[in-house]
Amino acid sequence: MNGLMVLGTASDTGKTMICTALCRILSDEEVRVTPFKSQNMSRFSTMTENGEEMSRAQYIQALAARTVPSIYMNPILLKPVADMKSDVFFFGEKIGPVAGMTYREHYFQQGIEAIHTALGKLSETYETVIIEGAGSPAEVNLNDREIVNMRVAEIADVPAVLVADIDRGGAIAAIVGTLQLLPPAHRLRIKAIIINKFHGDISLFREGVEFIESYTGIPVVGVIPFKKDHGIEEEDVDRPFVEAPTGVDVYDEWASHVKAHLDWPLIKRILSESGSVE
């Protein structure tokens, strides 16, 4: 199974929405595609048709991919509760509440095994996986036991794209800093950069794109304009998940918006390089 990992320079750069668009674009090209996020931390979740609890984000991405949401798309779910603890779910089975340090120290190997199991199961049905990271891959204080960013890319042996949120400012510094903090082997997996949530005339950022590409040696594969009213249910919203009304395909609209501002042929070439990252 080939694939692509979508990483961010920070939380809330728009990784979830980029993955959602990629799932729909690939589905439009008749690719059997599945979303995947090894571990998602969110207070809000939803249920599969089998009554298993999974993250709302991967449920939405599965709908975008025109496939049935499965617990294997999100094998680990952390739902924060009181006193710096979280309810921990492995494949929908609840363990907890567990304190953060206890989880980090005692559930690392179980997490690695869950990732292998889930990816293996998904590979029986799908030919391409779109993997969403969490936070930043450059959190050097966490990387020895992280199970949601570069370690997952290594397990799946896939290339990655790095998403930066220009809306919050400092996007160029965030890109350069993230790449600088990655170990060389991890940096080599970053094959493209996406600038997300851009306001205004994209042509005004041409010099910014040129600087990023010349400084990092990595192509900017897209500058995605900010789109507020995309109509897709947000992950961290305190209400039951509601699917779009019948006849309203918000995924098509969002995917078209993203694809119009991507170098899609380059993304496809990067996807074809899965398993041969050098």
Structure tokens at 204: 């005004």
pLDDT of residue 246 exceeding 50, the answer is no
* Percent of the chain predicted with pLDDT > 90: 76
| DSSP track, 235-271 | TT-SS---PPPTT--HHHHHHHHHHTTB-HHHHHHHH
Instruction: Give the pLDDT mean for 87-96.
Output: 90
**Mean pLDDT for the stretch of residues 211-223:** 98
Residue 275's CB is within 10 A of a number of other CB atoms, namely 12
Residue ranges and CATH numbers for the domains of the chain are 2-272 (3.40.50.300)
What's the CA gap between 108 and 99, in Å, rounded? Answer: 14
Average pLDDT in the 84-112 region? 89
Asked if residue 241 has pLDDT above 70, the reply is: no
What's the gap between Cα 122 and its chain centre? 16
- Name the nearest CA neighbour of 20 among 63, 53, 56, 49: 63
State the Cα–Cα distance between residues 104 and 106, nearest whole angstrom: 6
CA-closest candidate to residue 122, choices 30, 37, 20? 37
Q: What is the mean pLDDT of residues 18-30?
A: 97
Distance from C-alpha of 231 to C-alpha of 204, rounded to nearest angstrom: 28
The pLDDT assigned to 33 comes to: 98
Q: Is the dihedral of CA 229, 232, 235, 240 positive or negative?
A: positive
